[in-house]
Amino acid sequence: MGNRGDAAQGHRQTGPSKAVQQDAEGPPPPRPTSPLLRWLPALAWMGLIFALSAQPDLPHAPRPWLDTLLKKGGHAVAYGVLAWLYLRALRGSSARDQARPMAALLAVAYALTDELHQAFVPGRHPSPVDVLIDGAGALLAMALEQWRTWQAVAPFQ
């Protein structure tokens, strides 16, 4: 019935419908998003990290070894997620070719500023070990993202 409406309005279809053309050409290119929308998730995650770093004392696990494992593991995961969010933002920019290294570098830079911030929080202290753990988390996230990309290109080789 859609064709009747088009004909009634003076429109004639001279070729395949748009839906058929789109299928033959593949999906439409993604719409570009504004830089603010690309960076907003990373900025929100940075805010969460900052808020946690501003706490004078975080809850403790019942065993010291478990507390250390959870907190250091949390550092690695938090900065792995941050690196991935940076990667997501950078893929829409002119730095697309160097997005993975740049994302890891930005995450480590933020880790350094986070440790500097902790120097001014009562009950907290900066730790170079935490920066190394944060960097390891960021690098692991970028390595996993690279592996995922390779798997998508050649899954059975």
Q: What gap in Å lies between CA 101 and CA 14, rounded to an integer?
A: 50
Q: What gap in Å lies between CA 83 and CA 108, rounded to an integer?
A: 9
73-100: pLDDT as tens digits: 999 999 999 999 999 999 877 767 799 9
Q: Is pLDDT larger for residue 52 or for residue 58? A: 52
Q: What gap in Å lies between CA 42 and CA 115, rounded to an integer?
A: 18
Query: pTM for the whole thing?
Result: 0.75
Alpha-carbon distances, residue 38 vs 35, 82, 142 (angstroms): 5, 13, 18
Q: Is 94 helix (H, G, I), strand (E, B) or coil?
A: coil
Alpha-carbon distances, residue 45 vs 78, 80, 81, 111 (angstroms): 8, 11, 8, 12
Sorted by where each begins, the domain ranges of the chain are: 35-153
Cβ 110 vs Cβ 46: under 8 Å: yes
Q: How far apart are the first and last CA of the chain?
A: 49
**Residue type (1 letter), 124:** R
Q: What gap in Å lies between CA 16 and CA 22, rounded to an integer?
A: 10
- Give the pLDDT of residue 76: 97
98-151: pLDDT as tens digits: 999 999 999 999 999 999 999 999 999 999 999 999 999 999 999 999 998 888
